[in-house]
Structure 1
């Protein structure tokens, strides 16, 4: 009995074949094809490698300079009393984080102009409608 070679692809089974369709299948939104001008690097493969598909995910994170770690910490203290607020902090329109006691603009020194913002919102929602001039005979 002759043994089949490892590099020869096996015919697809009926369960893995896709039914013929007049429309092309939509492109995958999860994986993107590799677009590189560099030659492809071939890795060591095993006998079962022709049965598996190896997908390469496109790298999305930018590279950081070596020796420099960027640590981003979100503020978790009230801007007025410096009390830890955790998940129940309230973000004001001025951009600061406050506890439940200082969340209103009258209880902390707020730099946001609520009157001007209200005027602009009302002006956008209610445009001025002018009637056409009536010509008298």
Structure 2
């Protein structure tokens, strides 16, 4: 029993702060006092944020803007009429006025029939069962 008390007292001996500030550090704070430990956490957090911003900056510089400019979308692709707030966007990706919004009116190259077939197949999966269940 004396050995467990001695071990307990040995763990609680105060040690000076590893930061050299003159206060006592604890094992929970990696040998640092509370003030030095807070400073240590702040410097680690800011270093981590700087690394993230550098990586994010590198990723944004790699992106290229391949989309068409917004000014082109404000006009109809066929008659060049201003679309205003409501322009219609087709599945082909172009913007059209109310006259040319239908696929037949602007000569759209999208196969709507095939797209409809694929959508129906996804919504209604085929149900197959064993045909030999009811036979003798």
**TM-score between both structures, scaled by the size of structure 1:** 0.48
**TM-score between both structures, scaled by the size of structure 2:** 0.49
Larger Rg: 2
Determine which structure has the larger helix proportion and give its number: 2
Structure with the larger RCO, 1 or 2 (CA within 8 Å, 6+ apart) = 1
